[in-house]
Chains A and B, each alone.
Chain A
Amino acid sequence: RKEVEQDPGPFNVPEGATVAFNCTYSNSASQSFFWYRQDCRKEPKLLMSVYSSGNEDGRFTAQLNRASQYISLLIRDSKLSDSATYLCVVNGETSYDKVIFGPGTSLSVIP
């Protein structure tokens, strides 16, 4: 089993749609969780952290379920500029542990 798994995608959605991405991780001792965004031919950049209580940043909502080892990202009112690959990222038990990236899910928002 891979350490971090994501929906295979690609997701093609119309502008204004709501889209949800899921992610599961295998190491129950993982401490920190994040969503990164990667535009085509660019480097990944941090989108948002994921907190146990769930957190929201504008149109983006992230949730964590430690018992199920599951992370989600919800995007409401999709914009064309949301088109990108979304990477689920899990950090290990200490700051020296490697950071594990999921394979990413591609999103295309269509006019």
Chain B
Amino acid sequence: DVKVTQSSRYLVKRTGEKVFLECVQDMDHENMFWYRQDPGLGLRLIYFSYDVKMKEKGDIPEGYSVSREKKERFSLILESASTNQTSMYLCASISPRAANTGELFFGEGSRLTVL
């Protein structure tokens, strides 16, 4: 059974704290994505990566960074969390060979609250 695992389902952090969200996939997928999902705004792409050590900015990269040191792991970092980063964060992966099937595999999400 294919799997994308996100390290934490629920986190509560304080303004200014550094936050790490980790995502691991076991499907040997090249492409991985971080989205945030907010009511009325849908899923917005933060960063994506198409290979180890490669990264591309999505639509809303400000305030975030990412790390892809190993193919299976894609981390999202909030250097200094702010209240407007309170959101649901979703990690996803896809193989380029499956791009036409469109099947992104998502993790269960990490709900972050910044106080």
Q: CB within 8 Å of B: which residues of A?
A: 31-34, 36, 42-46, 49, 87, 89, 91, 94-96, 98-104
Q: CB within 8 Å of A: which residues of B?
A: 31, 33, 35, 40-43, 45, 48, 50, 56, 58, 90, 92, 94, 96-97, 99-104, 106-109
> Which A residues touch B99, using CB under 8 A?
32, 91, 94-95
Contact partner of B109 among A43, A98, A103, CB < 8 A? A43
| A44 engages B106 (CB within 8 Å) | yes
- Least CB distance from B36 to A in Å reads 11
Inter-chain CA distance A100–B92, complex, in Å, is 13
| A46 engages B108 (CB within 8 Å) | no
> Which A residues touch B48, using CB under 8 A?
98
- Least CB distance from B110 to A in Å reads 11
When C-beta atoms are compared, the residue in chain B nearest to A2 turns out to be B42
> Which A residues touch B100, using CB under 8 A?
31-32, 91
> Which A residues touch B45, using CB under 8 A?
98-100
Inter-chain CA distance A106–B57, complex, in Å, is 29
| A98 engages B96 (CB within 8 Å) | no
